[in-house]
Structure 1
Amino acid sequence: MTTTRIPYADLPVTARRAVEAHTGPVLKVESEVEGFNSSIAARLTSPTGDYYVKGLRADHRRVWTQAREAEVNPYVRGIAPALVARVESDGWDLLVFEAVDGHHANYRPSSPDLAKVVDVLRRLGEIPCPPIELRRAEQRLERYVDRPEDLAYLAGNALLHTDWNNTNVLVNDQRAQLVDWAWATQGAPWLDAGYWVVWLIGSGGHEPASAEQWAARVPGWRDAPANGISAFAAANANVWDEIGGQDPDPWTARMVSAARLWRDYRKA
């Protein structure tokens, strides 16, 4: 479900004052147009620096994702922007992050960004799964596997990001960083590389074989069981079929097609 985006200036005054208690007075606001999951998404400039604020109404059915991001942030600093504050005020739940400069990752086959994405996947794989409440991969995909016994392939103790939309990967001259940890999950260490495969195919230019070659550069992928990868590809295709529904928009249709293409490649 896409969340309606509103301007930062439309927040209640008390909520904005609560944010500015952490940022200082806001001198400039740039609304963020990418993304689907936040009602508020904006870059704020103040005398103390630049910040990124995102949020949902406190009664939104996915407001739990705000808590998830806040809880995971201390464990992923270095590969993600630091959380400055979580603000709960006047019916809003807001997260204030240090702003990160960079462009959204380019997943095309010739892109120099791909090596940096591999590096951030590697660094994520080195972070122990934190002692916080996380959904488990086998729970998230329980309704989508073709066989119940396939769920065992997905279980594990790795911290996963799971949403490798290129807009969630910010790249600068030095490195890539990951934003939007709302769907952080615990599971098998190769799953994030698998999620990335679908986005590589969906970006255009990658066939399943070349996308898997990039995934193979990620250490966690190297120990992935072939049958497990195939089971995950099939489950992921089922997820995207559900998201797409009967009449998907062009963006979603492209991802549905990518997920099906990978599933069929694994079956061949």
Structure 2
Amino acid sequence: MSRLAWHDISAPVRAQIEEVLGGPVVEAVSQPGGYSPGSADRVVTASGRRAFVKAASPAVNIDTPDIHRREAAISARLPAAVPAPQLIGAVDDGEWIALVLDDVEGRHPSTPWQPRELAAVFDALQQVGSVALPADVPVADAGDELAQDGVARWRILDADAVPTLPGGLDSWVRGHLDELTDAAAQGVSDARGDRLVHYDTRADNILLRPDDSVVLVDWPWAARGAGWFDALTLLVNVRYYDPRADVEGMIAAHGVFDGMPADAATHVLAAFSGMFLEASLRPDPPRMPTLRTFQRDQAVVTLDWVRERWEG
């Protein structure tokens, strides 16, 4: 991925960002990781104020500005009890959109995931699921998102289009296309609920502070859904870094999964696998040459888990 630097942001937009911060930026350190081609900088002003700034324009990627606008609208209304960076302000000139957020002193979880850190993140996700979600938080319905992201992808995926996958997964998928599509469709209703869902839980969207508290970052895909949804999809990331991880044991061991039917988990995973697999076949988006490989790898991890659940 080719990420913008602070100086690549339009000069007038940088000036407006500095107005939001109350002073000129004297230091900007670009942050690696993630899958957005826009800027992502930890900045410091002349007075010592710190913040995190992310910005993009359609020239960078046609979709990123609207994603940032969605995140700005959501972040501005997240309840205080949600462990997320506070939105300080946003700059939007109709082309460029920049989010100015609290700077979080922290690091991403270790990968492969370590048990203590994973337990802390599960605790944080359980906290998110316990927060009453105000009606004015502009989030989508997780079931609707899953229908669009997963079910629709399986329905347009022809058996001949299934790429070569390791472990004979490609042959297995071709032989189970109808079952995978049906399972994904059942996942739509399973995913519905009245809890706040981050919808994109991965190590690169999580920060651990020095005091071991957890902060979830990057909220554009937030939704209203089942309280266990984020924890389940996080286990895809756990398995991505360690294919031998005992994810089923982790489900049995933590209260964040209480009330999650086993079949519902399989259905949601089936939907996610369709989303990853079909997306991986599309052309590379501008400035994001690694995204399709990542999506293919995610498809392999999720499909392999679904196959284990069905055959185990």
TM-score by length of 2: 0.77
Going from structure 1 to structure 2, the CA distance change for 1:100 and 1:200 (only over 3 Å counts) comes to: same
Same amino acid, percent of matched pairs = 24
2:66 pairs with 45, 64, 68, which one?
Answer: 64
| 2:96 corresponds to | 92
Question: 1:34-183 alignment to 2 at 5 Å?
Answer: 34-46=33-45, 47-57=47-57, 60-73=62-75, 74-77=77-80, 78-89=82-93, 91-131=95-135, 132-143=137-148, 144-145=150-151, 146-147=181-182, 148-174=185-211, 175-183=213-221
| 3-state secondary structure, aligned to 2:275 | helix
1:237 maps onto 2:273 in alignment: yes
| 3-state secondary structure, aligned to 1:139 | helix
1 or 2, which has the higher helix percentage? Answer: 2
| 3-state secondary structure, aligned to 1:52 | strand
Q: What letter is aligned with 2:194?
A: N
| 3-state secondary structure, aligned to 2:131 | coil
Going from structure 1 to structure 2, the CA distance change for 1:130 and 1:242 (only over 3 Å counts) comes to: farther
Shift in Å, 1:137: 1.6
| 3-state secondary structure, aligned to 1:27 | strand
Shift in Å, 1:64: 2.9
| 3-state secondary structure, aligned to 1:104 | coil
Shift in Å, 1:150: 4.0
Max Rg structure: 2
Q: Structure 1, unaligned stretches of length 5 or more? A: none
1:257 maps onto 2:260 in alignment: no
Going from structure 1 to structure 2, the CA distance change for 1:206 and 1:185 (only over 3 Å counts) comes to: farther
Distance 1:48 1:107 in 2: 32
Structure 1 contact 108–206 (Cα < 8 Å) conserved: no
Number of aligned pairs?
A: 264
Structure 1 contact 43–52 (Cα < 8 Å) conserved: yes
Distance 2:36 2:113 in 1: 28
Going from structure 1 to structure 2, the CA distance change for 1:124 and 1:58 (only over 3 Å counts) comes to: same
| 3-state secondary structure, aligned to 1:91 | coil
| 2:27 corresponds to | 28
Bigger RCO (CA 8 Å, 6+ sep): 2
Shift in Å, 1:173: 2.8
Going from structure 1 to structure 2, the CA distance change for 1:249 and 1:94 (only over 3 Å counts) comes to: closer
Q: Structure 2, unaligned stretches of length 5 or more? A: 152-180, 284-290
Shift in Å, 1:253: 3.8
